[in-house]
């Protein structure tokens, strides 16, 4: 199957898509994005992803020139062209083509560039991870706020590379105060002292869509969950740890800094939650996301 790209409303093969060399996303990482997964032709959590995209745009002073329905219809058209199956959808909005390779916003005089990438989904639900707590710090909120989902990802790229150098599959970065933040592209939860603990948003993490859903789901599943500071020591002594993200749902962590978490396999609580969370997701998709999406794009 050909990977597709919708570039400013035109659907082409991903390999044939082109942007100008003066595009500010290419030059400076001056862009925002969202990654959405679909079940068939219907994106999960689209409303939350769109809301976060708008918040990211405001955070970097970008004016979006398309409304939600227009963007949704472009995604729907690209999904329809891609055929059947579940898909990975990446929505990227750059500030557009600048007048010169100059960071000053005064040179950003073109409309934003809208890119929709659609690829067959490679399932990651339940995929295990080995974490390394790296020396590289998460970006400070006062510099480039991790809550802004921007195209400037070099901090995460280098953190992940350092973790792989240590024999892990993913990194954990702490903030300037020494508290655990998140992995390279995932939030995390650790079972410590009888409760699932996830770092606070104020610790400098992305407000993950799956993370927010888990904060609703876990109490319904009979689990205690807390948002609080989490130290590297807490993470190393946790009974169970899992990562959460749009593509991963719940991903068990088997090792931290080379040492096994529990018995070095998915913990029993995590294993139970994976199946229950999928039921939660399917119910929400059926009762909330799919009807809203169909109304937004029109029945196709």
- Please give the pLDDT value at position 144: 87
Structurally, the chain folds into a number of domains equal to 2
Q: What is the CATH number of the domain that holds 223?
A: 3.20.10.10
Note down the domain range covering 30.
4-120
Same domain flag for 18 and 150 = no
- Please give the pLDDT value at position 115: 98
Same domain flag for 66 and 188 = no
d(CA 206, CA 200): 10
In a domain, 295, yes or no: no
Instruction: Give the DSSP letter string of 240-289.
Output: EEEEEETTTEEEEEEEETTEESTTSS--HHHHHHHHHHHHHHHHHIIIII
Q: With CA atoms as reference, report the closest residue to 130 among 175, 180, 172, 159.
A: 172
Residue 300 has pLDDT above 60, yes or no: no
Query: Max CA-CA distance within the chain?
Result: 57
Q: Decide: 189 and 196 in contact? Cβ < 8 Å.
A: yes
Q: What is the CATH number of the domain that holds 110?
A: 3.30.470.10
- What confidence tier does 299 reach under pLDDT thresholds 50, 70, 90? low
Q: pLDDT tens digits, residue range 156-193?
A: 999 999 999 999 999 999 999 999 999 999 999 999 99
d(CA 155, CA 168): 17
Q: Mean pLDDT across the stretch 53-64?
A: 97
Q: With CA atoms as reference, report the closest residue to 114 among 153, 66, 156.
A: 66
Strand partners, 38: 43
Same domain flag for 103 and 169 = no
Instruction: Give the DSSP letter string of 99-147.
Output: SSS---GGG--SPPEEEEEEEE----TT--EEEEE-SSPPPPTTTS-TT
Same domain flag for 139 and 268 = yes
- Please give the pLDDT value at position 2: 83
In a domain, 10, yes or no: yes
Same domain flag for 115 and 183 = no
Residue 89 has pLDDT above 90, yes or no: yes
In a domain, 270, yes or no: yes
Torsion sign, CA atoms 17, 20, 25, 31: negative
- Please give the pLDDT value at position 209: 97
Residue 45 DSSP code: S
Same domain flag for 97 and 158 = no
In a domain, 300, yes or no: no
- pTM beyond 0.75: the answer is yes
Same domain flag for 74 and 208 = no
């Amino acid at each position: 199957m050909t990977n597709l790209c919708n570039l400013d409303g035109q659907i082409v093969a991903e390999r044939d898509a082109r942007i100008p060399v003066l595009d500010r996303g290419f030059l400076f990482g001056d862009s925002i994005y969202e990654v959405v997964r679909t079940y068939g032709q219907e994106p999960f959590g689209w409303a939350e992803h769109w809301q976060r995209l708008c918040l990211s745009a405001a955070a970097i002073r970008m004016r979006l020139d398309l409304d939600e329905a227009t963007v949704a219809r472009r995604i729907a058209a690209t999904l329809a062209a891609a055929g059947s199956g579940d898909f990975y959808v990446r929505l990227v909005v750059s500030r557009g083509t600048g007048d010169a390779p100059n960071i000053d916003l005064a040179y950003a005089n073109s409309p934003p560039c809208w890119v929709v990438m659609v690829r067959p989904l490679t399932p990651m639900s339940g995929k295990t991870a080995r974490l390394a707590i790296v020396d590289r710090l998460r970006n400070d909120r006062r510099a480039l706020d991790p809550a802004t989902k921007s195209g400037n990802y070099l901090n995460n790229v280098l953190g992940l590379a350092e973790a792989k150098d240590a024999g892990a599959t993913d990194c954990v970065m702490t903030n300037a105060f020494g508290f655990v933040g998140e992995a390279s592209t995932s939030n995390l939860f650790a079972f410590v002292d009888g409760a699932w603990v996830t770092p606070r948003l104020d610790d400098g993490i992305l407000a993950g869509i799956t993370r927010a859903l888990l904060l609703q789901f876990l109490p319904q599943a009979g689990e205690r969950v807390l948002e609080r500071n989490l130290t590297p020591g807490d993470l190393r002594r946790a009974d169970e740890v899992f990562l959460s993200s749009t593509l991963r749902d719940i991903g068990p962590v088997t090792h931290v800094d080379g040492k096994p978490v529990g018995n070095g396999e998915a913990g029993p609580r995590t294993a139970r939650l994976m199946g229950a969370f999928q039921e939660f997701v399917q119910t929400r998709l059926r009762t909330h996301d799919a009807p809203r999406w169909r109304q937004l794009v029109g029945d196709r």
